[in-house]
Structure 1
Amino acid sequence: MNKTTMVSVIIPSYNRGSTIKLAIQSVLDQTYKNIEVIVIDDGSTDNTEEIILELNSDKVSYYKNAKNIGACGSRNRGINLAKGDYIAFQDSDDEWLPEKLERQLEFLSEEDCDIVSCSMQRIEGKKNEIYPPYVPENNSNSFNQLLFENFTSTQTILGKKKVFENYNFDERMPRFQDWELMLRISLFFNLKHLNKVLVKSYLQVNSISLNAKSAIAGLKLIYNIHKEAIEKNKSIEARFNLKIAEYMLANGENPKKYYKKTYDLSKSSKILLFYLMSKLSLNKLLFYFKKQYFSFKNN
């Protein structure tokens, strides 16, 4: 990879004064130095601007939205401002390992692909896990792999600028915007995964039910966008219905309709039990049971 190639790193932020410095500094500390950092402040009311100005780096450009437009809109604004040949995304509360950009650029060149994701370490209090929890196959059918299970996350993505000039984040998406974008991109561009942990993602400790409503809406949007492809594959269709059911359960809703669809497609005895409990309006008991013995965490 030519060291004169510039990478534009886009960081949307909203009231992340307590974490934004670490996020930006981890980008400035990259072993690959030809970068620009574009911070899009989405109308913060805290000390975000002050902290960024204190960094006093000529590599960092700061823009503040006149009104709150959301992370997707902010990232799209950053794409329009980017001057680099490549674009990467960082979240305002996460940390890159020093060799992230260098390793990804080398991989992208060696594999002759348009966009690359990497693995990351998810940290929540004393808990941590590696994501994705499996090794994606770098074959030509990344769309079907993604449709079955997302293996990307915004802060792990680096790609050629031409990719993002043609495909922006869908601003309707309340959640899973990275997954939705990568699905569209994988139909037309070569997407591969670098199986190396290069990002630390710090998850905020809060109730899953706080995010469940947006997760349900996001999953239903993705389902509608890719309905034809999803319904061609029973395993993929069952997985989508199960994800919706799990988030409905976490949101205090009765998911019997989606457990029924999942069971009809999978014939799983465990799903049949979940469906029967929901049918008997025991969904609150089921939620308690699953919270104790199963993981609700989804991508």
Structure 2
Amino acid sequence: MNQQPLISVLMPAYNSELYIAEAIESILNQSYQNIELIIFDDGSSDNTRQVIQSFDDPRIVKILSDQNYGVVRARNDMIDRASGQYIALMDADDIADRTRLEKQLRSLEAGECDLCGSAQWVLDEASGKIKKSKDKFTDADLRSLLSVYCGLCNSAMMGKAEIFKRFKYDTTILTSEDYYLWVVMAAAGYRFLNLKERLITYRRYPAQTSSVHLDKFRITTIEVQKKYLELLGISLDFYPRQLPWTKRVSVGAGLLRALNQRFKGISLQANCEIYARFQFRRNGLWTPLTRLERLMVGLWATFLVN
């Protein structure tokens, strides 16, 4: 490679023979070309390595492991080896829009954010149907909503390399490792942005919605969310969980007050989404009243706390 790449794209791969060629091509064919693509074959037992070896583009850095170490170690090894000023994440079964890196780089270099994602197309592998993701876009919404869920798509993220090299992935968290990474970065004060253009096609598999996977994800998600409140200096008494209305108004309002004081400009919709985690679902005849309650608390947080 004749010049130092500005962007390092990291692609971990494990048994991805069916899709990795399309993923690689979507990065090599980007409108912005000053990149390196680091691919880590994590001990695949199918033909993933052969597919990787079929590409001879000088911008590709190949790391070929005969042992399966897991995606967390693979990502950390690639972060160590990245030489670009920016790091972009990319999974081996997703597809990047041709203008993805160019548009994210523009936002990052303009100082609009420290970490930049985007909206996505979600491809259901079981049905073949594709739909639009539901996203939030501003820093205040994204960082406040991390208290109840992760609104960032790992395969769509790009940010300053120095941030990734400072934090890396926690090797003790193996199910929600990306969620935890964003939580730590958000608590440290780094600014997030989701571009409204759909710059990634994200594949969703039946295994991701299996009961076993969801149970594991639910447990680690709770741990990550509680850690986030700790990092923000917010009492765990305000942790979002279903409560009777006699308790949830005060507890939910307490969390919203703390978040709105920390992240200025949280939208009404985001405040309502956070408060909804304190309510019970499937309220039947009570649904109109719970929606009204959610709206009233959300309006209070949006216009009085802010």
> 1:20–1:264: structure 2 CA closer, same or farther, 3 Å change rule?
farther
Q: Can you give the 5+ residue segments of structure 1 that lack an aligned partner in the other structure?
A: 242-258, 274-299
Q: State the match for 1:57 in structure 2.
A: 57
Shift of 1:106: 0.7
Shift of 1:144: 1.9
> What TM-score results when the alignment is normalised by the length of structure 2?
0.73
Output aligned runs, 1:153-192, within 5 Å: 153-188=153-188, 189-192=190-193
> 1:80–1:263: structure 2 CA closer, same or farther, 3 Å change rule?
farther
Q: Deviations over 1:54-111 (max 9, x none)?
A: 1221111111234222111111100001111110010011000100000101111224
Output aligned runs, 1:1-299, within 5 Å: 6-124=6-124, 125-131=127-133, 133-139=134-140, 142-188=142-188, 189-206=190-207, 207-228=209-230, 229=232, 232=235, 237-238=239-240, 241=241, 265=248, 268=279, 270=281
AA in 1 matched with 2:281: K
> 1:21–1:271: structure 2 CA closer, same or farther, 3 Å change rule?
same
CA contact (8 A) 1:223 1:230 kept: no
> 1:197–1:213: structure 2 CA closer, same or farther, 3 Å change rule?
same
Q: Distance in 1 between matches of 2:113 and 2:64?
A: 33
Q: Distance in 1 between matches of 2:90 and 2:104?
A: 14
RMSD: 2.8
Q: Per the alignment, in what secondary structure is the counterpart of residue 175 of structure 1?
A: coil
AA in 1 matched with 2:98: P
Q: Distance in 1 between matches of 2:95 and 2:9?
A: 13
Q: Deviations over 1:131-154 (max 9, x none)?
A: 3x1433234x75323223322111
Shift of 1:264: 5.4
Q: Determine what percentage of the aligned residue pairs are the same residue.
A: 22
CA contact (8 A) 1:42 1:67 kept: yes
> 1:269–1:86: structure 2 CA closer, same or farther, 3 Å change rule?
closer
Q: Can you give the 5+ residue segments of structure 2 that lack an aligned partner in the other structure?
A: 249-275, 285-306
Worse overlay, 93-102 or 42-51: 42-51
CA contact (8 A) 2:118 2:156 kept: yes
CA contact (8 A) 1:262 1:271 kept: no
> What TM-score results when the alignment is normalised by the length of structure 1?
0.74
CA contact (8 A) 2:226 2:239 kept: no
CA contact (8 A) 2:148 2:225 kept: no
Q: Per the alignment, in what secondary structure is the counterpart of residue 54 of structure 2?
A: helix
Q: Per the alignment, in what secondary structure is the counterpart of residue 12 of structure 1?
A: strand
CA contact (8 A) 2:11 2:38 kept: yes
Equivalenced residues, count: 249
> 1:198–1:262: structure 2 CA closer, same or farther, 3 Å change rule?
farther
> 1:261–1:122: structure 2 CA closer, same or farther, 3 Å change rule?
farther
Q: Per the alignment, in what secondary structure is the counterpart of residue 200 of structure 2?
A: strand
Q: Per the alignment, in what secondary structure is the counterpart of residue 122 of structure 1?
A: strand
CA contact (8 A) 1:100 1:198 kept: yes
Q: Per the alignment, in what secondary structure is the counterpart of residue 110 of structure 2?
A: helix
Q: Distance in 2 between matches of 1:217 and 1:172?
A: 14
AA in 1 matched with 2:129: K
